Structure 1
C-alpha cells in the first residue's frame, strides 16, 4: 500500500510499504480522510521536541487525525466492528498499568502516539492498524472531513469544558488556529460570549468568516473581565499573558505547546486564586472533577 514517510528534516516521500495486519485486539481500517496537524508539520520540519529526546525518530509515518472504515479484525475483536465507520484515539496506552485502568491511558508511562512516537504508524496511508479499544463509532451522517476533525475537536471540547463557564460568561481564546477556532465554536454553541485574539489582522479573517464578531489582536484587545482564558497558541509568552488576563478566582486552560519553555509567576497564580488546567488529549478521565457548567452538544 502507499504511505507518506518522513525520512528526515524537510524530507518526505510516498512509498510502497507492507500493509498492516490486525493483531490480537486490533483492527485494520481503510482510511477515508486524514488531517495534517501542527505536530505533523513540526515532525516534517524537524522542530518537534520528540525528535531531540528520541521519542520520535525518522523514518516516521505521520497522521493522527483520521476517519475510516474497519476492514479486518484481529483475534478477540467483536465481529460487529467489521464494516463500521470509525475514528480513533491518538494516545495508545499499554492497557495494563494503573493509569490505563483508571481511564488515564493518555498519560500511560509506556504511551505510544499514533503517527507521532514509538514507531506507531500513522494514518497518512491507505490502511491503518489500531487497537479496537481506541475506536469510536462514527455515524454515516458525518462526512469524512468532519470525521477527521473529531480528534482535534475532542481536544478543543475538553478545553472548553475545563474552562468551567456558565452560559453568558465571557471566554477569551488566544490563538486562531484549528484548536483555537474549534474551542471557540464549541464555547459559542454552549452559550458563552466568545472573543478570540490572533497575532495580526490577517489571522482574524477565518474567525470573522465563522461569524465571530469579537476577534482582536493584542493591540486592539479590550480591557474586559475574562471569565476564562484558553491558550491555544505555540508562543512561549502566551501562558503568562493568559494568566495575567484571567479574572481572579477563575480558570486558565493550556492546550497549546510552545517550541521553547514558558514561564509563569506562580505568585500571580496564587494571589489571583486562578486554577490552571493542562489539556493533553480529548478524553476526559474518570474522577477529573465536576462536569461542564455550560451544556455543549458536540453535534452543533
Structure 2
C-alpha cells in the first residue's frame, strides 16, 4: 500500500510499504480521511519532544485524526465490525497497568500513540491497523469530514468540559486554531458567551465568520470578567496570560502546548483561588464529540480548508497552503485522491 513516511527532519515521502495484517484482536481499516495535525508538523520538523525521549523515532508513518471502513478482522474480533465506518482512539494503553484499569489508558506510561509514539503506524496511508477495542462506530450523518474531526473534537470537548461554564457564563479561548475554534464551538453549545483572543487578522476574521463576533487581539481585548480561560495557544507565555485574565474563583484550562517551558506564578493561582486543569488526549471525549456531531449541536466542517492526496502531505507539513483552499485552519487528506 501507499503511505506517507517520515525518515528524518524535513524528509517526507510517499512510499510503497507492506499492507497491515489483521492480527489477533485488531482490525484493518481502509482509510477515508485523515486530518493533518500540529503534532504531525512537529514530527516532520523534528521538534516533537518524543523524538528526544525515545518514545518516537524515524522512520515513522504519521496520522492520527482518521476515519474509514473496516475491511478485515483478526482472530477474536467480532465479525460484525466488517463494513462498519469507524474512527478510533489515538492513545493505546497496555490495558493492564493501574492507570489503564482506572480508565486512564490515555496516560499509560507504556502506551502507543497511533502515528506518533511506540512504533504504531499511522493513518496517512491507504490502510491502518488498530485494536478493535479502540474503535468507535460512525453512523449517519457523521460523514468522512466529521469522522476525521472526531479526534480533535474529543480534545476540544474535554477542554470545554474542564472550563465548567454554564449558560450565561463568559469564556475566553486563547488561540483561534483548530483546537481553539472547536473548543469555542463546544463552549457555545453549553450556552456560554464565548470570546476569542488571537494574533492575526485573517484567523480572527475566520472566527467571526463562524459566528463569534467577540474576536480580539491583545490590544483590543475589552476588560471583562472571564469565568474561564482556555489556553489553546502554543505561545510559552499564554498560560500566565490566561491566569492574568481569568476571574478570581474561575478556571484556567491548558490544552495548547509550547515548544519551550511556560512559567506560571503559583502565588497568582493560589491568591485568586483559580482552578487550573491540563488536558491531554481526546480519549474520554471521543464518544461525546461523535454524539454532538450527530445531533448537530456542533458542526466543525467549515474548519476544513482543503482536502488533498497523499502526494501533497509533505508540502502541507512544510507549511504550504494548497491551491484554492479556504480560510479554515485544517487540511484533510484523502488517500484515494491520487491513488
Structure 2 Cα separation of the partners of residues 138 and 202 of structure 1: 33
Aligned twin of 1:143 = 143
- Give unpaired runs (5+ residues) of structure 1: 286-291
Alpha-carbon contact 1:155-1:179 (below 8 Å) kept: yes
User: 1:48-75 CA deviation, whole Å, 9 max, x = no partner?
Assistant: 1111222111111000000001111011
Alpha-carbon contact 2:165-2:190 (below 8 Å) kept: no
Alpha-carbon contact 2:90-2:283 (below 8 Å) kept: no
Output aligned runs, 1:52-201, within 5 Å: 52-201=52-201
Deviation at 1:297, TM superposition (A): 4.1
Give the total of aligned pairs.
Answer: 291
Structure 2 Cα separation of the partners of residues 74 and 249 of structure 1: 51
Moved over 4 A (4+): none
Greater share of residues in helix? 2
Alpha-carbon contact 1:190-1:297 (below 8 Å) kept: no
Alpha-carbon contact 2:174-2:232 (below 8 Å) kept: yes
Structure 2 Cα separation of the partners of residues 140 and 31 of structure 1: 17
Distance 1:204 1:6, change over 3 A: same
Q: Which piece of structure 1 moves more, 36-45 or 195-204?
A: 195-204
Q: When the two structures are superposed, what TM-score results if normalisation uses the length of structure 2? A: 0.84
Provide the secondary structure at the position in 1 that maps to 2:264. Answer: coil
Aligned twin of 1:276 = 276
- Give unpaired runs (5+ residues) of structure 2: 298-339
Alpha-carbon contact 2:3-2:125 (below 8 Å) kept: yes
User: 1:110-141 CA deviation, whole Å, 9 max, x = no partner?
Assistant: 01110001111000000000011111110132
Structure 1 Cα separation of the partners of residues 150 and 92 of structure 2: 16
Provide the secondary structure at the position in 1 that maps to 2:284. Answer: coil
Structure 2 Cα separation of the partners of residues 146 and 194 of structure 1: 23
Structure 1 Cα separation of the partners of residues 51 and 284 of structure 2: 28
Q: Calculate the aligned-residue CA RMSD, in Å.
A: 1.4
Structure 2 Cα separation of the partners of residues 118 and 103 of structure 1: 20
Alpha-carbon contact 1:162-1:277 (below 8 Å) kept: yes
Deviation at 1:249, TM superposition (A): 0.8
Higher relative contact order (CA 8 A, sep 6+): 2
